Structure 1
Amino acid sequence: MSSQAARLAAVSLLTLACATAAHAQSGGTDVDQVVITAARTSLPASALPLTVDVINNETLGQQVAIGGSIVDAISTLSPSFSPTRQKLSGSGESLRGRSPLYAINGIPQSTPIRDGSRDGYTIDPFFIDRVELIYGSNALQGIGATGGVVNQVTVGPPLRDGASGKVLAQTTLAHKLGDAVGGKLAGLVGWREGDFDATVGVAYDARGAFYDAHGRRIGMDNTQGDVQDSKTLSVFGRFGWQIAENTRLDLVANRFELKGDGDYVTVTGTAVAPTDGNRAARLPTTSMRGVVPGIPAANRVETVSAQLTSDLYGGNFTAQLFFNRSRDTFGGDKNATFQDVSIAPNGTLFDQSSNRSRKLGARVNYERTVPGIKDLTATVGVDALTDTTAQLLVATGRAWVPPTKFESVAPFVQGNYALFDGKLRLAGGVRFENVQLKVDDFTTLAFYGSRKVGGGNPDFKATLANGGVVFEPAHGIRFYGSYAEGYTVPDVGRILRAINVANVDVDTYLAVEPIVSNNRELGAEYKRGPFDASVAYFWSKSKLGQLLVKNAGGIFDVQRQPVAIEGLEVNVKARTPVPGLEVSTGYARLRGKTDTNADGTLDTYLDGANISPDRLNLAADYQTGKWGFRAQVQKFISRNMQTALVKDDFEGYTVADAFVRYELPVGAVSLGVQNLFDKQYLTYYSDTSLPTKDKIYAGRGRTVTLGWEARF
C-alpha cells in the first residue's frame, strides 16, 4: 500500500472515530437489516463479513430518471465502479478493477465463454425492485463474480387481494429537440386472489441521438452496439402460488430486446473542426445521417425461472430451475478478418457476427441452525449449469467461434457461528467447482489460414474458499475482515477463433485454467445517531488473470498474465439539523499492476480498459412535504498513465446531476438532469484505451428527462 493510500486510510479511520460515515448508496435503507438474497442466506447483512449495499426502489428510480439505465445508476452511486462507456457494450467497465457478475434474481446474465459484454442490458429497470451489490471476488453465485455481484431483484407479488400496479411516462430532451428526443412508456398490473397471484408488464423505450456539451452528435458505436438511436421492448411476467403457509412457487419470465435504428454513420475526429474543450490532436468522434450496412447492432435476452421456497424441517429450502437465452448481434463491415476469396474477391466481403448463448441451470440450497449448536447456521447446496455459446457470421453463415459447451456442477457449504450474544461472528465456507468444456472439430476462418482444429473436452476442478470474522462491540459499530475467492474462465471464444497454426487440438492448445481471484478485505462501519459510515481496504490477486490488449488489427485479444489490485473505499452520510436534509460523500482509490514479461514481477500498471479511475462522490438529498430534491457530483481524478499498458494519460473531469420530484393528486412528476452544467469531456474508456483518433467518444451533454409515474 502506498504512503498516500496509507494516509488516506488513516484519515478515513479518524473520520469513523469522529462518527461521520455511512454507506451513501443505500438511499435510506437500513442495509444491515436487509437480507441480501445474492448472498444465499437468510441472515442479515450485518452478519456477513462482506461489503454489501442495496440500491432501493426510490433511489434506483431517481438514478434511472437521470442516466437511463441500471448500469448508469450503479456507476453513479458506487465510487469503485468504473465510469460507464455510455454504450451498449460494457467491455472495460469494472467493479473494484474486475468484471462484476450481473444477475436477475440470482440468474447469471453473462456469457463468459464468448463474452459479448451486454449483460448490463437484459431487463428494463421498471421491473426491478432493488439492486443488491456484493463487492469483491466471490463464488457465492458461481462463475463470473471476480469483481463482485450485481443482483437485480425483480418486483414482488401483489401485497393484497385485487388489482394493483403502476404506470410510467417519460420524455428525454437534449441540445437538439429533433432527433435527440426520446420517450418511454411502461405499465405493470398485478392481481392477487387467495393463494394465486399474477403480475405482467411491458416497457417500451425509444432513445434519440445523444449530443455532447458542444451540441454535436456523439459518435455511434455501430460495431459493438449503442444505446442511443435505439428502441427497447421489455416484457415481464411473474406468477405465484402459495402452496402452503410456508411453501411458495414463483414463475418469473422476462424478454428484453434492444435494437439499434441504424440511422447514423460514424465520422472520425479528423473531420470535425476543433472547438474549445477538445484536445488539439484528439477530436471526438461524431455522427451524421446515413444508412448503416447490414443489420444494426442489437441485444435480445429471454429468461424463465421457477423457484420453490419452503420451510423444511426447521430450515429454509430453496430450489430454482432456470433457462436463459441471449443473442448479441454486432455491426458489420468489410473487415480483413471476414475476407475469404473462395466466397468473394478480397476486400469486398461484408459480414457481421452474432453471439448466441443458451443456459440451463439449477440451484438448490438448504439453510438451518445446526442441531445441538443453536448459534451455528449452516447452508448446504449444489449448483449445476450448462452454457452453450457460439459466435456466427450472419451474412455467410460461417462459425467464427464454434459451438462451445460449458458444464459445471458445484456443491458448496457455508457456516456462520454467532458467539457472545452475536457480538462476534465467524463465517466461512467452500465451493467445489467441476467444469468441463466440449468443442467439436472445426475450421477457423480464412483470415487465420482455414486451420482445421481437433475438438476436445478440457476440464478443470477448483476448490474455492472463503472465510471471515465480524465483530460488533456495540450496536451500530461493526468491524470485519474476510478472504474470498471467485473465479471465471478466460474468454475461450476469442482464443479458439484466433488459432492460426496447423495440427492442434482443443485439449492440448486451449488453456482453460480458471481465473481464480482472491479478495482480502478489512472494513469498519459506524451507524449511530445522525451519522452512518463505512471504510474498507481491499487487495486482490490472480496468478493467471485475463487482460484485454488491442492488437495491430484493432481487435482486443486475451492475454493471461498475473494481476494484483488494491483499493480503498470510504462512504459517508449525515442527517443534518435541517429537517429532511441529508448529505453524503464517497471516495474510492484503486491501483492495479500486471506482469507483462513473465519474470514474476508486477511491473506495469493497468490501463483504462482494465481498471477504473479514482473518484470522489458528493450528494445532497432534501425531502419536504410533497417535494423531493437531489443534487450529486462525481469527480473523476486525473491519472498519469505513462507506466501503464496503454500510455495515455487521463486528465479527469467533474460532472453534476440533479433530480426533482413533486407529488400530484394522482401520481408524481419528476425532472432528472444529467450533466447539469453541460461539461464537455471524453469518456474514460475511449480516453485511456483507444488513443488513436478513431472512436474517441465525448460524454453526453446536458440531458433532461421529464416523467410522470402513478401507482394504484
Structure 2
Amino acid sequence: MTAWTDGRTMRRIMAGASLAALMTAPALAQSGQSDLDQVVVTAARTALPVTALPLTVDIIDSETLSQQVAIGGSIVDAVSTLSPSFSPTRQKLSGAGESLRGRSPLYAINGIPQSTPIRDGSRDGFTVDPFFIDRIELIYGSNALQGIGATGGVVNQVTAGPPREDGTTGRALLQASADGGFQGDGTGGKAAALVAHRNGAFDATVGASYEARGAFYDAKDRRVGVDTTQGEIQDSKSWSLFGRFGWQFDDSLRLDIVANRFELKGDGDYLALAGNRLTGVPTSSVRGAVQGKPAANRAEMLSASLTDSDLWGGDFSAQLFFNRTRDTFGGDRGATFQDIRIAPIGTLLDQSSNRSRKLGARASYERALPFYQGLTTTVGLDAMTDKTEQSLLLTGRVWVPPTEFTSVAPFIQGNLALLDGKLRVAGGVRSENVELAVDDYVTLASYGSRSVAGGDPTFSATLFNGGVVAEPARGVRLYASYAEGYTVPDVGRILRAVNTNGVDVDDYLDISPVVSNNREIGAELKRGAFSATATYFWSSSKFGQLLVLNPATGVFDVQRQKVAIEGLELNLEARTPVEGLTLMGGYARLRGQTDSNGDGKVDLDLDGANISPDRVNLAAAYINGPWSARLQTQFYIKRDFNGPDPRNNFEGYNIVDAYVRYETGLGGLSLSVSNLLDEQYVSYSSDTANPTDNLRYFAGRGRVFTVGWDRRF
C-alpha cells in the first residue's frame, strides 16, 4: 500500500489508538447499555458474553433502533448512521456499493442469511420491517461465524422475542412524514401492530405493518431523481407480516417457529430527468408512468429453532430454515438487452428479475469441559443450498442461468479462561465444502450469444480464527484477533458477462471463492461515567472482488483482484453531570487499495463503489422521566482517490438529525427531523461513481419531518 502504511506511520497510529482507548467508547456505546458482562451476541454462535470474545461488536438496542428508524426510515439507515465504518446509504432500494469496513456485510434475520451472493441483487437490507426487530447485532470484520458472505461483518437482525408472562401484550405504531417544503406528493405514512399472547407452555406473536412513501425532495425543494432500474424507496408501498410461535417444553427446552413476509413495490409514478454533473445540477424526477413493471422486492422466510440450555450440561441449538426472495428490476432499452433477432437495435424494452431460494440447517452444541477447567468448546455443522437465477421478464430470456450453491461446513470453537477469567484464549476452525452446479447456457446477444459449457466446480477452504482477550484491570479490556471470512464472488454477474468462446464453468478461474482475513487489535475502557474503544484492523484477500463500471453497457462488472484494506475506529461515550444527558462520538478512517496490474502488489485506491469515506459521528442523548431526545451529526470527510477517475473524488458533507419523544401515559408522541439544517448534497454513491451518467447523479434528501405515536399494552 502507500506510504501511510510504513512502519513509522503504523507505530504512530498504534500509539494513537492506545492513547485514544483512554478517552473513547465501548462497542455498545450506541445502545446505552452499561453492563457488558451479561450481553450475549447470538450471531457469535456462543452463549458466552461479548466480553469473552476477541471481536469488535455493536448492539443497537430496541429504543435506539426505534429512534433511528423514525429518523431515517430503515434498518440500513440506522446501521449506517450509528456505525462510522459503514458507508453512507444510497437512499435507494439497492444497496450496491454499501459496505462495512470496505467489504460487503452479511445481513441476517435470527442468523438466517438474507444476502444472495450467487447473484447479488443488493436488496438484502430490505427483507423485514424494522417494527418487528428487537435489536441489531453488528460483528465487524471478515469472519465465518455465519458461513458464507460476511467479508465485511455481520448485521444480524434479532426479531421480537416471546412474551415473558401469561396474558396478552402488544404494541402499535402510527407515523406520518413530510418533506421540509410540505409538498403534496412528498408525504408518507406508516401503521404497524404486534400482538403477543402466552398461555402456559404455548405462546404466539403476530404482527402486520404497512407503509406508503411519497416522493423525496432535496434541500432546494427539487424532487430527487428516481432510479427506475435498480429500484426506489421513494414513491413506494410496502407491507409485511410476521409471526412467532413457541412451545416451552420445560425450563430449558424450547421450540420456536418464525415466519416473515416482506414486500416493497414502487408505484412507478415518476421518470428521471437528467441532471448535469458539470454544472452541479442533480438528477430530478417528473411525473410519468414507467415502462414495464416498477421495481420491487419480495422476501419470505420460515424457520424452526430448537434450543436446550441444559442438554448434558451444555447448550444445544438446531435450526431449519427456508428463505426465498424475488428482486424485480425496472425496465429499460439499454444496450445489454438488445437483440436484432427480436427487435431493431435500440427499441427492445426488457427488465430482469432475480429469484433465489435457500434451504438450510444449522446445529451446534456448547459446553464447558468437565475434565479441563475453564475450557468451553463449541462444535457444529451448517448445511445450505441456494438456487438463484436471473431471467428477463418481457422476452423470457435467461440472463443468469439457474445456479445452485451447496455448502456443508463443520466447525469447532474453543474458549479457554485463564487467571480466573482475566485472560482468555479463543480459536477455532471451519471447513467449507462448496459445490456450484450450472447448466449449459447461451449468453445474451449483447455479449455475443456465447455458448458456455456448464459444470459442477467444487471448492473447499479451511478457515481459521483465533484471538486473545485480557482484562488487566477493572474496566479495561484488551484484545487481538485473526479471523478469515468466506464468500463467492457475484457468480451471476460474472457468468452473464462471458463474451468469449470456449468457456467451461468447471475451470473458469473467475468464479473461485473469495477468502478474506481480518486482523485487529482493540482496547476498551469503562470507568465510571466514561467508556471508550479503539480498534485498528487490517483486511486482505489475494483474489478479491471489485466492482468496475463497464462504460459500454453502463453496468458494473466484477474484476478479481488482490485487495488490501486498513482502518482505525474510535468511539467515546460520557454521562454528564446533567441528569439523563449522555454525549457520544465516533471516528473511522479507512484506506483500501487493489492490484490493478496483476503484479501481486496493491497500487490503486479503492473508489467510492468499493469503500466508505472517513467519518466523524457526534451525538447527545437525553432520557429523563417521560422525555427522551437525541441530537446527532455525521461528518463525511472529503477524499481524493489516488488512481481512479478524478471526477469521482468525494466532496464531503455534513448531516444533522434530531429526535424528541414524550410519554403521555396513553402512548408516546414523537417528532424526528432528518437533515435538520436542510443541507444540500450529492449522495456518496453518486458523487464517487458513474462520472458521465447524468441520470444517476442523485442528491440526498433534504429536511424531513416525521411525527409518530406508539403505545405498548
Shorter-chain TM band: over 0.9
- The match for 2:241 among 220, 226, 235 is 235
Q: Classify 1:506/1:161 alpha carbon distance in 2 versus 1 (closer, same or farther; 3 Å).
A: same
Separation in structure 1 between the aligned mates of residue 12 and residue 290 of structure 2, nearest angstrom: 52
Question: Could you say which residue in structure 1 is the equivalent of 2:401?
Answer: 402
Give, as a single letter, the amino acid of the residue that structure 1 aligns with 2:74. S
Separation in structure 2 between the aligned mates of residue 671 and residue 164 of structure 1, nearest angstrom: 25
Displacement of 1:642 in angstroms is 4.2
> CA-to-partner distance for each residue in 1:6-61, whole Å, 9 max, x for gaps?
545534432433x5543432233534421000000000000000001100000000
- The match for 2:39 among 34, 37, 43 is 34
Range with bigger deviation, 20-29 or 684-693: 20-29
Contact 2:17 2:536 in 1 (8 A): no
Give, as a single letter, the amino acid of the residue that structure 2 aligns with 1:635. F
Q: Classify 1:644/1:345 alpha carbon distance in 2 versus 1 (closer, same or farther; 3 Å).
A: closer
> CA-to-partner distance for each residue in 1:247-301, whole Å, 9 max, x for gaps?
000000000000000000000114xxxxxxxx75332100010000000000000
Displacement of 1:243 in angstroms is 1.7
Give, as a single letter, the amino acid of the residue that structure 2 aligns with 1:294. G
Q: Classify 1:643/1:339 alpha carbon distance in 2 versus 1 (closer, same or farther; 3 Å).
A: closer
Contact 1:604 1:645 in 2 (8 A): no
Separation in structure 2 between the aligned mates of residue 112 and residue 32 of structure 1, nearest angstrom: 35
> CA-to-partner distance for each residue in 1:188-227, whole Å, 9 max, x for gaps?
0111000000000001010000000000000001100010
Range with bigger deviation, 170-179 or 386-395: 170-179
Separation in structure 1 between the aligned mates of residue 50 and residue 304 of structure 2, nearest angstrom: 26
Q: Classify 1:494/1:122 alpha carbon distance in 2 versus 1 (closer, same or farther; 3 Å).
A: same
> CA-to-partner distance for each residue in 1:450-475, whole Å, 9 max, x for gaps?
22221100111000000000000122
Separation in structure 2 between the aligned mates of residue 698 and residue 647 of structure 1, nearest angstrom: 16
The 5 A counterparts of 1:674-685 are: 674-685=674-685
Question: Could you say which residue in structure 2 is the equivalent of 1:371?
Answer: 370
Contact 2:20 2:534 in 1 (8 A): no
Q: Give SS of 1:495's match.
A: helix
Displacement of 1:244 in angstroms is 2.2
Q: Give SS of 2:648's match.
A: coil
Q: Give SS of 1:473's match.
A: coil
Displacement of 1:73 in angstroms is 0.3
- The match for 1:147 among 152, 156, 172 is 152
Separation in structure 2 between the aligned mates of residue 614 and residue 406 of structure 1, nearest angstrom: 36
Contact 2:20 2:570 in 1 (8 A): no
Q: Give unpaired runs (5+ residues) of structure 2.
A: none
Give, as a single letter, the amino acid of the residue that structure 2 aligns with 1:159. R
Q: Classify 1:702/1:349 alpha carbon distance in 2 versus 1 (closer, same or farther; 3 Å).
A: same
Q: Give SS of 1:33's match.
A: coil
Separation in structure 2 between the aligned mates of residue 193 and residue 475 of structure 1, nearest angstrom: 44
- The match for 2:102 among 97, 108, 129 is 97
Is it true that 1:190 corresponds to 2:200 in the alignment?
A: no
> CA-to-partner distance for each residue in 1:320-352, whole Å, 9 max, x for gaps?
000000000000111121122222222221100
Give, as a single letter, the amino acid of the residue that structure 2 aligns with 1:701. G
> CA-to-partner distance for each residue in 1:349-378, whole Å, 9 max, x for gaps?
110000000000000000001130131000
Q: Classify 1:440/1:374 alpha carbon distance in 2 versus 1 (closer, same or farther; 3 Å).
A: same
- The match for 2:125 among 107, 120, 125 is 120
Q: Give SS of 1:224's match.
A: coil
Separation in structure 2 between the aligned mates of residue 608 and residue 21 of structure 1, nearest angstrom: 27
Separation in structure 2 between the aligned mates of residue 30 and residue 137 of structure 1, nearest angstrom: 26
Contact 2:24 2:570 in 1 (8 A): no
Question: Could you say which residue in structure 1 is the equivalent of 2:429?
Answer: 430
Residue identity (%): 67
Question: Could you say which residue in structure 2 is the equivalent of 1:494?
Answer: 493
Q: Classify 1:655/1:295 alpha carbon distance in 2 versus 1 (closer, same or farther; 3 Å).
A: same
Q: Classify 1:7/1:551 alpha carbon distance in 2 versus 1 (closer, same or farther; 3 Å).
A: same
Separation in structure 2 between the aligned mates of residue 346 and residue 602 of structure 1, nearest angstrom: 41
Give, as a single letter, the amino acid of the residue that structure 1 aligns with 2:554. G
Question: Could you say which residue in structure 2 is the equivalent of 1:689?
Answer: 689
Compute the TM-score of the two structures, normalised by the length of structure 1.
0.97
Displacement of 1:506 in angstroms is 1.2
Q: Give SS of 1:695's match.
A: coil
Q: Classify 1:191/1:689 alpha carbon distance in 2 versus 1 (closer, same or farther; 3 Å).
A: same
Q: Give SS of 2:511's match.
A: coil
Question: Could you say which residue in structure 2 is the equivalent of 1:275?
Answer: none
Displacement of 1:629 in angstroms is 1.1
Give, as a single letter, the amino acid of the residue that structure 2 aligns with 1:14. L
Q: Classify 1:493/1:423 alpha carbon distance in 2 versus 1 (closer, same or farther; 3 Å).
A: same
Displacement of 1:414 in angstroms is 0.2
Q: Give SS of 1:179's match.
A: helix
Separation in structure 2 between the aligned mates of residue 594 and residue 125 of structure 1, nearest angstrom: 36
Q: Give SS of 2:320's match.
A: strand
Question: Could you say which residue in structure 2 is the equivalent of 1:288?
Answer: 286
Contact 1:171 1:184 in 2 (8 A): yes
The 5 A counterparts of 1:199-214 are: 199-214=205-220
Contact 1:375 1:419 in 2 (8 A): yes
Q: Give SS of 2:412's match.
A: strand
Separation in structure 1 between the aligned mates of residue 21 and residue 153 of structure 2, nearest angstrom: 25
> CA-to-partner distance for each residue in 1:354-413, whole Å, 9 max, x for gaps?
000000000000000113013100000000000000000000111100000000000000
Contact 1:642 1:649 in 2 (8 A): no
Separation in structure 1 between the aligned mates of residue 64 and residue 266 of structure 2, nearest angstrom: 28
Question: Could you say which residue in structure 1 is the equivalent of 2:448?
Answer: 449
Separation in structure 2 between the aligned mates of residue 122 and residue 702 of structure 1, nearest angstrom: 26
Question: Could you say which residue in structure 1 is the equivalent of 2:626?
Answer: 626
Displacement of 1:4 in angstroms is 6.5
Displacement of 1:682 in angstroms is 0.5
Contact 1:22 1:574 in 2 (8 A): no
Question: Could you say which residue in structure 2 is the equivalent of 1:702?
Answer: 703
Is it true that 1:248 corresponds to 2:249 in the alignment?
A: no
Is it true that 1:616 corresponds to 2:616 in the alignment?
A: yes
Give, as a single letter, the amino acid of the residue that structure 1 aligns with 2:372. I
Q: Classify 1:20/1:353 alpha carbon distance in 2 versus 1 (closer, same or farther; 3 Å).
A: closer
Give, as a single letter, the amino acid of the residue that structure 2 aligns with 1:700. R
Give, as a single letter, the amino acid of the residue that structure 1 aligns with 2:298. R
Question: Could you say which residue in structure 1 is the equivalent of 2:297?
Answer: 299
The 5 A counterparts of 1:468-487 are: 468-487=467-486
Compute the TM-score of the two structures, normalised by the length of structure 2.
0.97
Separation in structure 1 between the aligned mates of residue 11 and residue 177 of structure 2, nearest angstrom: 44
Q: Classify 1:194/1:339 alpha carbon distance in 2 versus 1 (closer, same or farther; 3 Å).
A: same
- The match for 2:137 among 127, 132, 145 is 132
Contact 1:495 1:510 in 2 (8 A): no
Displacement of 1:503 in angstroms is 2.9
Separation in structure 2 between the aligned mates of residue 280 and residue 676 of structure 1, nearest angstrom: 28
Contact 2:588 2:615 in 1 (8 A): yes
Give, as a single letter, the amino acid of the residue that structure 2 aligns with 1:45. V
Contact 1:302 1:324 in 2 (8 A): yes
Q: Classify 1:280/1:448 alpha carbon distance in 2 versus 1 (closer, same or farther; 3 Å).
A: closer
RMSD of equivalent CA atoms: 1.3
Question: Could you say which residue in structure 1 is the equivalent of 2:576?
Answer: 576
Q: Classify 1:704/1:291 alpha carbon distance in 2 versus 1 (closer, same or farther; 3 Å).
A: same
Displacement of 1:433 in angstroms is 0.3
Q: Classify 1:672/1:4 alpha carbon distance in 2 versus 1 (closer, same or farther; 3 Å).
A: farther
Question: Could you say which residue in structure 2 is the equivalent of 1:274?
Answer: none
Displacement of 1:640 in angstroms is 1.3
Question: Could you say which residue in structure 2 is the equivalent of 1:86?
Answer: 91
Question: Could you say which residue in structure 2 is the equivalent of 1:325?
Answer: 324
Aligned length: 703
Separation in structure 2 between the aligned mates of residue 646 and residue 352 of structure 1, nearest angstrom: 32
- The match for 2:272 among 233, 249, 266 is 266
Q: Give unpaired runs (5+ residues) of structure 1.
A: 271-278
Contact 1:256 1:300 in 2 (8 A): yes
Contact 1:642 1:648 in 2 (8 A): no
Contact 2:465 2:482 in 1 (8 A): yes
Contact 2:24 2:571 in 1 (8 A): no
Question: Could you say which residue in structure 2 is the equivalent of 1:515?
Answer: 514
> CA-to-partner distance for each residue in 1:586-622, whole Å, 9 max, x for gaps?
0000000001010122110000000000000000011
